[in-house]
Amino acid sequence: MTNPVPNIQTKEGQAQLRQMGIRVIPQPDEVSSPYWEAARRHELKIQRCGSCSAYQHPPASNCRCCQSADMRWTQLSGRGTVYTFVIDHRLMVPGFDAPYVVAQIRPEETDDDVVRITANIKECDLHDVHIGMAVEVFFEDVTEDVTLPQFRPAGRKP
Ligand SMILES: [Zn+2]
């Protein structure tokens, strides 16, 4: 008799979850949905304040600098650097096969350490990832409705 509740901390459990169609996917809300809609079009967009021009991410209703509600969406080049990262060796999240890198990316357009995009770093050896590494966005279509902006070493592919 099989266990009806897969143990996600095993590769077998992760495989069971995948067969069941269970994995963690973003749940866009009113404020964040433009980010995910842009991702579906394979565009990387984040908020920029219409009043003081500050970039902002993660998205919020008001500007982090001047509290303006005039938040607009602006397209980024997709290039940036690794601000910080962790390598997750555990099998804790359905749909993510450990080990994998979770990083915070600082977009090249931003001039402070506040704006960071959280994503996986892929298409390279886990142990090559380092702080300050140049990366570029690519888009991973996870389902028909959900695309994840992800990052890889810059300049590897056209
Ligand atoms: Zn502002």
Across the chain, which distance is largest between two alpha carbons, in Å? 62
Residue 128 counted as domain residue: yes
Distance 117 CA to ligand 1 centre (A): 19
pLDDT computed for residue 78 by the predictor: 97
Residue 1 counted as domain residue: no
- Residue 31: is its pLDDT beyond 80? yes
Residue 123's nearest CA partner among 147, 92, 95, 154 is 154
pLDDT computed for residue 1 by the predictor: 53
Residue 4 counted as domain residue: no
Please compute, for residue 76, the number of CA atoms within 13 A of its CA located in the half-sphere on the CB side.
27
% of the chain with per-residue pLDDT over 90: 68
Distance 151 CA to ligand 1 centre (A): 27
Average pLDDT over residues 91-102: 80
Domain count, the chain: 1
What is the Cα–Cα distance from 108 to 22, expressed in whole angstroms?
Answer: 35
Integer angstrom CA distances of residue 47 from 1, 31, 80, 102:
51, 10, 16, 22
Contact 25, 147 (CB under 8 A): no
Contact 40, 34 (CB under 8 A): no
In this structure, what token pair is assigned to residue 112? Answer: 């402070």
Residue 25 counted as domain residue: yes
Integer angstrom CA distances of residue 96 from 10, 12, 104, 134:
12, 13, 17, 24
pLDDT computed for residue 2 by the predictor: 55
Average pLDDT over residues 112-128: 93
Distance 94 CA to ligand 1 centre (A): 37
Distance 56 CA to ligand 1 centre (A): 9
Residue 2 counted as domain residue: no
Residue 37 counted as domain residue: yes
Residue 6 counted as domain residue: no
Residue 45 counted as domain residue: yes
Domain of residue 75 covers: 11-153
Distance 68 CA to ligand 1 centre (A): 5
Integer angstrom CA distances of residue 27 from 30, 35, 93:
10, 11, 15
Distance 147 CA to ligand 1 centre (A): 28
Amino acid (one-letter) located at 77: S
Distance 12 CA to ligand 1 centre (A): 48
